Amino acid sequence: MKSIHKKAVLVTSAIAAPYLVYRLYHNYVKNCPSIQLESGEPFFAKIAKKEQIASDVIRLTFALPNKKAILGLPICKHLMVHGVDSEGNDVKKPYTPITVDRISKGEFILVVKIYENGRLGNFLNGKKEGDQVKFTGPVGKIEYKDQDFYQLGKLVSVKPKKIGLIGGGSGITPLLQLVRYLEDQKIKDVKCTLIYSNKTQEDILCKEIIEQLVADGWLTVYHNITRGDAAEGMEKRSNNNQKNTIMYRK
Ligand SMILES: Cc1cc2nc3c(=O)[nH]c(=O)nc-3n(C[C@H](O)[C@H](O)[C@H](O)COP(=O)(O)OP(=O)(O)OC[C@H]3O[C@@H](n4cnc5c(N)ncnc54)[C@H](O)[C@@H]3O)c2cc1C
């Protein structure tokens, strides 16, 4: 009788142990704090939402493995997005999410400019909600950590209180990532000034985000519009002697 009981316990353990491991693993994945970007391994993320936010700009919201997961991308680093161009060739390009980990759990957002005949932008534009996209990362030489700047892992600027940012077109996204991080962390003693250049006012990417950051005192911005007139509310500030290039201040 005793041995039957022992066997029963063993059998139960044999079934229970893998079940327990499975439950633990399932719970771990469900609550996984971040995807493992540091490993450099590729990962796939599903497009949860695709929005056309301007005639040539889309905003893609990518779902992370669970609702609590964060991307874990170091500030000032980028993701490499992988795709296939219209001729069937593999193509990869860097993109920077405009989201901040702490307030963007379970997802990250890319703003993508679509150029005529652009290889990767058109690949992404051809995707629909529910499709998967391949990423690797983090990539990039610069990192902002504990209010210091590092270049290729070497400390290059110690806790600067003034940060100058210069960007054009879709080059705004890495800059916004930094300012949004300062805002999120409430690092009020660091002042950011941005010079942002675009052909026309309509080309200004993430305009609402920039305006909100300005209104809330996190950013001072100077728009450089190389074609066309100033937007409402902008004032002409200076002519920098370059033909057709006018600096506007908002
Ligand atoms: C750090 C970093 C972060 C970035 N983050 C973002 C981001 O968040 N969002 C974003 O939209 N972009 C971002 N970019 C830019 C992005 O990586 C791509 O370079 C950009 O989107 C264009 O890629 P594409 O493959 O769509 O177009 P491409 O194939 O590079 O083409 C772009 C345009 O150039 C023209 N062209 C290409 N080759 C030639 C040639 N030989 N002669 C003349 N014309 C040519 C094409 O016809 C097209 O009109 C970032 C770039 C960097 C470096």
Residues 6 or more apart whose Cβ sits within 8 Å of residue 207:
none
CA distances from 95 to 89, 175, 204 (A): 19, 12, 17
pLDDT in tens, 1-18: 344 444 444 444 444 554
pLDDT of residue 239: 57
Question: To test ligand 1's pocket by mutation, which of 53, 113, 203 has the most ligand atoms within 8 angstroms of CB?
Answer: 113
pLDDT higher than threshold 50 for residue 29: no
Question: Which residues belong to CATH 3.40.50.80 in the chain?
Answer: 161-250
**Interval between CA 118 and ligand 1 midpoint (Å):** 6
CA distances from 203 to 94, 147, 177 (A): 20, 31, 19
**Gap between the Cα atoms of 51 and 21, Å rounded:** 40
The CATH architecture of the domain made up of 161-250 is 3-Layer(aba) Sandwich (3.40)
Q: For residue 122, which atom of ligand 1 is closest to its CA? A: 26
Q: Which residue has a Cα nearest atom 47 of ligand 1?
A: 117
| Distance in angstroms between the alpha carbons of the first and the last residue of the chain | 87
Q: Which residue has a Cα nearest atom 34 of ligand 1?
A: 118
The number of beta carbons lying within 10 Å of the beta carbon of residue 11 is: 10
Question: Which residues belong to CATH 2.40.30.10 in the chain?
Answer: 37-139
pLDDT of residue 26: 47
pLDDT of residue 202: 85
The position carrying tokens 């971040």 is 34
Sign of CA dihedral 80, 44, 57, 99: negative
**Interval between CA 67 and ligand 1 midpoint (Å):** 31
Ligand 1 site, CB within 6 A: 78, 93-96, 110-113, 115-121, 170, 173-174
pLDDT in tens, 156-183: 999 999 999 999 999 999 999 999 999 9
pLDDT higher than threshold 80 for residue 38: no
pLDDT of residue 244: 46
pLDDT in tens, 220-243: 998 888 876 666 666 666 555 554
DSSP string, 200-211: SGGG-TTHHHHH
CATH domain 37-139 topology: Elongation Factor Tu (Ef-tu); domain 3 (2.40.30)
The mean-pLDDT minimum among 24-28, 51-55, 203-207, 226-230 falls in: 24-28
pLDDT in tens, 59-82: 999 999 888 889 989 999 999 999
pLDDT of residue 4: 43
